[in-house]
Chain A
Amino acid sequence: MAAKLIKILGNCQRSPSTGSRFYSSQVRKCTMIPGDGIGPEISQAVQKIFATAKVPIEWETVDVTPVRGPDGKFGIPQAAIDSVNRNKIGLKGPLMTPVGKGHRSLNLALRKEFNLYANVRPCRSLEGYKTLYDNVDVVTIRENTEGEYSGIEHEIVDGVVQSIKLITEEASMRVAEFAFEYTRENKRKKVTAVHKANIMRMSDGLFLRCCRDVAAKFPDIKFEEKYLDTVCLNMVQDPSQYDVLVMPNLYGDIMSDMCAGLVGGLGLTPSGNIGINGALFESVHGTAPDIAGQDKANPTALLLSAVMMLKHMGLVEQARIIETACYETIKEAKYLTGDLGGKAKCSEFTNEICAKISAH
């Protein structure tokens, strides 16, 4: 009798697939964190574009304004954390970092929840937006958990401060493996490990060894090691010689921002954080409170991050359609928002992209 009951219960309970790959007939839930400032309007724009493209995603919008918890401290509402844990995929808009408030930053909380270990930032020159560099097509993959940002600092004596940079084999192997897999999946050719092992022999040496070990497992992908100064020097002279860069935390932070500067700034660069328990894609620009609510915002960064999310989930075809529509709209330069030098509104830009998708 009990066995029959258990069998019936077992049949009733269908756990939703929690893997990151799934088939396009199944509707997938994603957490959407609109953010502050221009966040809500660009999130709406992205949702509209996805609806037009008939992407099988159901958005679960959560609000992450900190609330006072039962212990009196401010914290992220539990509903948000639960949603994010359930869905394993999130899209985040720009968040205002409050100054002087007593709660832990949301970024830190999410990083811990998902165990986000790699930050991916593809930087590609946009054809309609002219900068001095038009042949940039670089992906920077940065180790996200340790390195110089370990936060271990102490004052030894008055006037002498020591900060510790931590490099572990486990984290380095993880990010190196991710880098090579990403290169293979996106049909890229070359991985460059950026380091400073001539000065920091043991720490960057360990990172480099891990990269070399992983490179041996991927013989079809070219692997090279370059010093940080050389990469900086060559990147500003000729960015086309680099393909995928993998590096520890600090160098990655600086290089990814520099590459973003080459293509036109943070308003146009997508960013994805990959973790063990899920992935979070976000736009890295600010909240722009001065243009919030005026329909002037540029949703490109969030849109391209969402496209990255689709590729990560395996919906490559829809990702390609939306991405092409976006690039074409910018290339035509008829409907460009203020930061790209045009006068169109956010809604006009969105509608144009939707029109292109429908025409497809």
Chain B
Amino acid sequence: MNFKVFYVLQKRCVSTLADEISRHAISKSSRLKKYKELPVSKYGGRHIVTMIPGCGNGPEMMNHIRDIFKFINAPIDFEVVDVESTPTSVKQAIMSIRRNGCCIKGSIERFTSEDEKLYASPNVAIRKKLDLFCSLNICKSYLGVPARYQNIDIVIVRENVEGEYSMLEHQSIPGVVESMKVCTTYNSERIARWTFEFAKKFNRKKISIIHKANIMKLSDGLFLRTIKKVAKEYPNIQVDQMIVDNCCMQIVSDPHQFDILVCPNLYGTILCNVVCGLIGGPSLISAANFGYNCAAFETATRSPESVVAEPDTVSPVALINASIELLFYLGYIEHAKLLRKATSKTVEKDLVRTKDIGGTNSTTEMVEAIKTNISAFNDA
């Protein structure tokens, strides 16, 4: 990735990659929504970022992240917000993220009470309330991690706020439940623009649209048509389409044929998990959720089973990747590059890995190794 352009932008107050792309997307979007721009809090030259530890091994991982951030001297302070499974707690977290502009989060446990349909899944609620319409998952293989396929380099862009996750359900008569999937041109258009701008900036060649428009003719048909319409404005990028079940079959037999995949909500989850499995596990890839003036960074797979594990055994690479994306977003390019270099060296060359990515070390040892590499690169 060529970040020389953005190095210049670092001098500006708000010099964020996604901001750049989002602004370009807004200016080209025919329907302009007026967003009240809250200032991203920066006090005394330091950014404040909300940190939501979440459940399971979240708190332990977040401690490591804080440690690493102190080590690389990034001018970032974390405002830790503990979220319990109550709606007020989630509201407070959302307010904090709105104020600070970005957050790094672990997976939040879902509510068990049957009445609170509004905040049924806190992860989804945060995304919808903050209008984080796009989820970016850069799935890159790490050399030597035991996996079925090596050298995978797929980017999955997933529409984040509507589709199957609209959570509009009702029971018409006892025993018959209807769940609504909503698709709008507005959302499809903005995710399309975001993807094409991303592809243009990072020199990606091909975008594949994943859909099921042969069965869901109106909803996925709308998604497909909208993206194809936007594609006409970017003639240099190759666009093709694929039905989601065929895509799953192809991705399991030959994942190297894909470059960028843009999908609606549910298919994005499925494909993201499949690719994570192909790369070597749930603890390697991060997800970056972008909105117009907010961003949230987390791990790519957030299913409850992948979060609960023994302490000190899970690899921190996913959250470290999330923090690298966070640093790029806030404009701290050098810090981001340093952390990325150190992490790749630790995993690929020094072979210090936890058990789930094919090694025998503990999380703490991995973090220490990363810190050693950071110092080595700093001194060099």
Contact = CB atoms under 8 A, between A and B. Distances in A.
A167 B266 CA distance: 17
Interface in A226-242: 226-230, 232-237
A265 interface: yes
B278 interface: yes
Interface of B: 110, 117, 120-121, 124, 148-149, 164-165, 167, 169-171, 174-186, 212, 215-219, 222, 244-246, 248-253, 266-267, 269-270, 272-274, 276-278, 281-282, 301-306
B164 A164 contact: no
Nearest to B222: A161
B97 to A, nearest CB: 21
Interface of A: 131-133, 148-149, 151, 153-155, 158-170, 196, 198-203, 205-206, 226-230, 232-237, 250, 253-258, 260-262, 265-266
Contacts of B149: 132
A234 B164 CA distance: 23
Contacts of B245: 253-254, 256-258
29 contacts: A133-B148, A149-B215, A153-B218, A155-B218, A161-B182, A162-B182, A163-B181, A163-B182, A164-B179, A165-B164, A165-B179, A166-B177, A167-B178, A168-B175, A169-B174, A200-B167, A226-B305, A229-B269, A229-B272, A235-B277, A236-B252, A250-B212, A254-B270, A256-B245, A257-B248, A257-B249, A258-B249, A260-B249, A261-B249
Contacts, number: 168
Contact of B273 (A202, A233, A261): A233
- The secondary-structure label for the interface of chain B is mixed
B249 A233 contact: no
Contacts of A235: 274, 277
Contact of A169 (B176, B179, B183): B176
Contacts of A160: 182-185
Contact of B170 (A202, A228, A250): A202
A198 B306 CA distance: 14
A153 B301 CA distance: 30
A289 B212 CA distance: 24
A236 B248 CA distance: 11
B182 A200 contact: no
A158 B178 CA distance: 23
A229 B169 contact: no
Given A153-B216, A163-B219, A200-B169, A230 B274 contact: no
B274 A228 contact: no
Contacts of B250: 261
Contacts of B170: 202
A39 to B, nearest CB: 21
Given A164-B178, A258-B252, A202 B270 contact: no
Contact of B253 (A161, A196, A232, A265): A265
Contacts of A255: 248
A233 B277 contact: yes
A233 B149 CA distance: 14
A117 to B, nearest CB: 16
Contacts of A253: 245
Contacts of B267: 254
Contacts of B174: 169
Contacts of B273: 229-230, 232-233
B175 A169 contact: yes
A203 B121 contact: no
A359 to B, nearest CB: 34
Contact of A228 (B215, B219, B270, B282): B270
A167 B181 CA distance: 13
Contact of A258 (B124, B183, B186, B248): B248
A135 to B, nearest CB: 12
Contacts of B304: 198, 227
Contact of B218 (A133, A161, A165, A250): A161
A261 B253 contact: yes
A162 B252 contact: no
